[in-house]
Structure 1
Amino acid sequence: MTGRPGPRRHLALIGLSGTGKSTIAPLLARQLGRTAADVDRLVEARCGGATVAEVFADRGEPGFRAVESEVLAEVLAGPDAVVATGGGVVLDPANRDLLARTATVVWLRADVDALVDRLARTAEERPLLAGDPGTTLRRLAAEREPLYDEVADLVVDATGLRPQQVVDQIERDLRAGGTEDDPR
């Protein structure tokens, strides 16, 4: 974790696919009196309504990541928001630098087995998890966890927690850790 000094306007949620970033962001935003932004949904809108899976199929991962970086930069240049990022947003060093400079970053962690179980109950197609999600998530965790740790101000274990419990834990940690003077 970074423990960076200085005020940052946004709250950004990072973590593996299935940790609840897209669910938590609007709940946390409402509780803190902010707006919410979901980078994956904004990428889909930018790409004419194509799903993330369709963008991956059409443009490949590098094409998706380029649009993702553009959208992230636009969101973080805008009004204060709680931002749900995509799980791979940390792969680009420029994205990590931008997050570190402009956002209080909350890493949502969860046990991989719990993520596999959670993702098996959703209909959303996740292109990087096709085939064997458990093996893929373990590989992605090994690759990405050092990058999540590099930019995270807070780490919240979301394993077994309901969304509102995660929101409440984030708010408590923000207040206790002094990461923001007033998270509202």
Structure 2
Amino acid sequence: MKNQTNCLFLIGMPGSGKSTIGKGLAKALGRPFIDLDHEIEARCGVAIPVIFEIEGEPGFRKRESQVLEEVAQQPDVVIATGGGAVLAESNREILSQHGVVIYLKASVEELVRRTSRDRNRPLLATNDPKTRLYELLDERSPIYDSLADIVVETGSASVPSVVQQIVTRLKDTENT
């Protein structure tokens, strides 16, 4: 049952702009905004790298799924998911059943540029983050593509321009 709670879910690689564009989109549409990673941190009382350190990626993914399931019940909310939230089948079902899925796409070069100074990304805490981003993109892009109702390139465009593009595309999908 599509659009059960009419959420807007932003998916994409780390650094694709989910949080930044999500805030702008929520403001433009007059909706509440939830950053899934920030919500997990608020509930756990520690940063995501600490959760990874203590529980590993499986422990983090379990928490991510629980929080996603809860926030997806809220009506008319814009939710920025974590880049790997799409890996769990149960999460993919939540995304496709509870709203519109917007895939924010960016080149690996752009992702490297945007994430190079961010120490809050445990999966990129490696000697070669660019190679790691290529590996993650190879694994995840088919999933992102299959889930997406709307795909938007976030490369060099400004945040307001990407937000406007999404708003326009949402109106177009409502009218079809």
- What is the TM-score of this pair, normalised by structure 2? 0.94
Q: Are the aligned partners of 2:119 and 2:125 in contact in 1 as well (CA < 8 Å)?
A: no
Match of 1:149 among 142, 145, 148: 145
Q: Match for residue 122 of structure 2? A: 127
**Percent of paired sites with the same residue:** 46
Which structure 1 segments of 5+ residues have no match?
Answer: none
For 1:26 and 1:105, how far apart are their aligned partners in 2?
Answer: 16
Shift of 1:37: 0.6
After superposition, the CA RMSD in angstroms is 1.3
Q: Match for residue 24 of structure 2? A: 27
Match of 1:42 among 28, 39, 42: 39
For 1:59 and 1:167, how far apart are their aligned partners in 2?
Answer: 35
Shift of 1:79: 2.7
Q: Secondary structure of 2:156's partner?
A: coil
Match of 1:103 among 93, 99, 112: 99
For 1:172 and 1:133, how far apart are their aligned partners in 2?
Answer: 34
Which structure 2 segments of 5+ residues have no match?
Answer: none
Q: Secondary structure of 1:106's partner?
A: strand
Q: Match for residue 61 of structure 1? A: 57
Shift of 1:25: 1.1
In structure 1, give the amino acid aligned to 2:7.
H
1:66-94 deviations in Å (ceiling 9; x for gaps) = 00000000000123200000000000001
Q: Figure out how many residues of one structure are paired with residues of the other and give that number.
A: 173
1:71 equivalent to 2:60? Answer no
Shift of 1:165: 1.4
For 1:118 and 1:25, how far apart are their aligned partners in 2?
Answer: 16
In structure 1, give the amino acid aligned to 2:17.
G
For 2:114 and 2:28, how far apart are their aligned partners in 1?
Answer: 24
Q: Match for residue 114 of structure 1? A: 110
